[in-house]
């Protein structure tokens, strides 16, 4: 038995319109959920983000057994719905030639990003621990034994998943704030939480250079040395800097010093013009 289906022109039109509408809705949903490592687009009040950082380009990232993507440009940003309890227990990273790593999943907050730093190794992670770094303000940099581990995102939370066991000299710093130095023991197979609240710094620094060098430096009309010079403990705020050198025109600039940071001043001095002597009046007259 053969069944013949016939559609009227009106029915076909309606079907085509329906297909177009559905396609537009799917396209809009895709745009709302679009996320890139450099430009996070929030799609709703309950949406948060996990930013996975790693040195291995192309490393694969999983939440439990669900593949989330791969590292590109050093990061992978994954959107998560914070309005429900986390369904994932672990984060896992795999890369050919390296030991796979599995660590606990940490949820983010609505509209915020939590950063995971995972450094894969070629040996097992038996003597490795995890550090949860919380900073105020966000954007603070964490250094372990003088090496930067990265900065906290807008949530103020950076999680270091693969830190070898041992004692570390720790420094937390942020432009405009007084740095904190500390000692920290990181145990293996354990989570160590390190939280800092940085205070705004009342002092900054200036690096002052000139061409040519060996020029006198005046800070607010006070001689503070000669170029080149790194000038520390400068109070925050507006200051006037004048650079003087014999045979050259004075060079002046107003600078704003930020607490806990170094500003750079580079000056190129201009030679003074040679004096022009007016000819004697008698030489310009002809004898009568």
Question: Is the pLDDT assigned to residue 8 strictly greater than 50?
Answer: no
- Helix, strand, coil percent values for the chain (each to nearest 5): 10, 50, 45
Whole-Å CA distances, 223 to 11, 131, 210, 217, 227: 89, 47, 15, 6, 11
Residue 38, pLDDT > 70, answer no
Q: Is the pLDDT of residue 60 over 80?
A: yes
List 92's β-bridge partners, or say none. Answer: 62, 102
As a whole number, mean pLDDT of residues 250-275 equals: 92
**Which H or E run contains 178?**
none
pLDDT tens digits, residue range 113-139? Answer: 999 999 999 999 999 999 999 999 999
pLDDT at 7 over 60: no
Q: Distance between alpha carbon 271 and the CA centroid of its chain, in Å?
A: 42
Average of pLDDT values for 11-34?
Answer: 47
Query: What percent of the chain has pLDDT above 90?
Result: 72
Q: Average pLDDT in the 54-70 region?
A: 97
Q: What percent of the chain has pLDDT over 70?
A: 81
What pLDDT does residue 39 have?
43
Residues of the chain with CATH 2.60.40.10: 37-197, 203-268
Residue 18 in this model has a pLDDT that exceeds 90 = no
The reported pLDDT for the residue numbered 262 is 87
Given a cut of 70, is residue 223 above it in pLDDT?
Answer: yes
Closest CA to 81 of 117, 44, 54: 44
Residue 124 confidence (pLDDT): 94
β partners of residue 167: 185
CATH class entry, domain 37-197: mainly beta
Cα separation, 76 vs 30, in Å, equals: 18
For tokens 């405009």, the residue is 176
pLDDT tens digit sequence for 170-213? 999 998 898 999 999 999 999 999 999 999 999 999 999 999 99
Give the pLDDT confidence of 151-180 residue by residue, as tens digits. 999 999 999 999 999 999 999 999 889 899
* Confidence check: pLDDT of 28 > 50: no
Q: 86: closest CA among 107, 103, 66, 104?
A: 107
CATH class of the region 203-268: mainly beta
Burial 213-228 (b: 16+ CB within 10 A, else e): eebbbbbeeeeeebbe
Average pLDDT over residues 51-80: 97
Alpha carbon of 174 to those of 153, 177, 180, 200: distances in Å?
A: 12, 6, 10, 9
Residue 40 has pLDDT above 70, yes or no: no
Q: What is the pLDDT of residue 286?
A: 52
Specify the pLDDT at position 176.
Answer: 84
């Amino acid at each position: 038995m053969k069944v013949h289906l016939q559609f009227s022109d009106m029915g076909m039109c309606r079907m085509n319109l329906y297909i177009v509408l559905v396609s537009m809705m799917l396209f809009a949903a895709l745009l709302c959920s679009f996320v890139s490592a450099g430009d996070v687009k929030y799609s709703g009040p309950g949406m948060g983000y996990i930013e996975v950082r790693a040195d291995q380009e192309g490393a694969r990232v999983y939440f439990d057994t669900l593949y989330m993507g791969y590292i590109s440009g050093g990061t992978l940003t994954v959107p998560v719905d914070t309005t429900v309890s986390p369904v994932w227990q672990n984060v896992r990273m795999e890369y050919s030639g390296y030991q796979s790593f599995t660590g606990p999943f940490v949820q983010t907050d609505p509209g915020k990003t939590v950063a995971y730093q995972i450094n894969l190794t070629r040996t097992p992670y038996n003597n490795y621990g995890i550090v949860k770094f919380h900073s105020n303000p966000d954007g603070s940099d964490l250094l372990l034994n003088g090496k930067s581990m990265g900065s906290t995102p807008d949530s103020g939370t950076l999680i270091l998943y693969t830190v070898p066991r041992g004692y570390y000299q720790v420094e937390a710093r942020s432009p405009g704030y007084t740095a904190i130095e500390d000692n920290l023991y990181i145990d293996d197979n354990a989570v160590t939480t390190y939280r800092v609240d940085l205070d705004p710094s009342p002092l900054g620094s200036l690096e002052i250079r000139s061409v040519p060098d060996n020029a006198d430096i005046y800070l607010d009309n006070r001689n503070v040395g000669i170029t080149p010079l790194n000038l520390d403990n400068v109070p925050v705020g507006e200051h006037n800097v004048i650079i003087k050198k014999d045979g050259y025109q004075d060079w002046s600039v107003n600078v704003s010093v930020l607490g806990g940071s170094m500003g750079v001043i580079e000056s190129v001095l201009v030679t003074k013009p040679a004096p022009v002597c007016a000819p004697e009046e008698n030489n310009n007259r002809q004898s009568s």
